[in-house]
Amino acid sequence: MGADHSSGPREFTDPDETWEKHGFRIKSTTPEVPARSKVRMLEDIKLSGNPEGEYSIINLPYVENSRSWDDWGVTTYKFSAAIYPTHHTESRLTFYVKLGNITLWANKPDVDHVLDVLPPKDNNFWSKQQNPTQITTQIFIGSFAATRNAAELEFDVIIRLCDRIPKKFKVPEGSTKHIFQSLSDDSGAGSELVSEKLFSTIEWLEDNRDSFQKILLVDKYGLGWVGSLMTAYIFANNPNLTFQEAVAYVMSRREVYCHKGLNETLHIFFPRE
């Protein structure tokens, strides 16, 4: 068995598409029928559903009609899956196949495959997305690029989430009202948000939602800070929802991720029975 997507023990994500999906394909040369085998990847990558970066298991489903034979009669099956890395860091992977009670590891003990998730470029794939996404009746989220059409889309106010206010974000007189807020000093799921700033922003949204018909929340990529803020807002205003359900609600409308520690922080301020 071997990883078909890389010729070496280390690979890198593309900075132009950092935090975009990353695919893995495994070939298994075994006489067992694929339906009886399970291929899994054990990883510590910070993903959209795993911001803590704890070791977890991802199943690689069998690729339908992928069975092939070579001239020596060896049968090969293919299994594949895709993940969404959400923090620039070095992560470790290993793969194994389970055949009944037998476990076959792809690598030798303590020899893992390494995936380096590189920091995104300033003008990468996500930063160019101009279309905002509606999450609630009044609140939309997007990247900084989404502000270009804010006036045409009749937004009443734009809340920019950034670590500081760059000069290029100076707001022309007479344009849509802008509010700047900082939630963290770093991007990526591995950085924790400042809870005081997070909850002050939630309070502002609650206190002012009747004053504006359309509110646009933006960060550089339209993924992390807006994802965490909207998840926190949904969680805070819907005591019947679990954290996972709040995340799923936002994710059903736009691909986002949450930051490390958000789940625990929200349960401290908004405890569930």
Task: Enumerate domains of the chain plus CATH numbers.
Answer: 2-116 (2.60.40.2440), 126-269 (3.90.190.10)
Of residues 43 and 226, more confidently modeled: 226
* CA nearest to 191, candidates 159, 225, 165, 217: 225
- Centroid of chain to Cα 243: 16
The string of pLDDT tens digits covering residues 22-62 is: 777 776 665 554 445 566 556 555 555 565 556 677 777 88
Name the more confident of 236 and 22.
Answer: 236
Query: pLDDT for 120-178, tens place per residue?
Result: 777 777 777 778 899 998 899 998 888 887 888 889 888 888 765 555 555 555 677 87
Quick check: 2 pLDDT over 50? no
Q: What is the pLDDT of residue 5?
A: 42
Instruction: Flag the least confident range among 9-23, 120-134, 177-191, 196-210.
Output: 9-23
Cα dihedral 44, 85, 108, 25, rounded to 10, equals: 140
How far is it, in rounded angstroms, from Cα 167 to Cα 132?
A: 23
Residue 35 has a pLDDT of 46
Q: How confident is the model at residue 216 (pLDDT cuts 50, 70, 90)?
A: very high
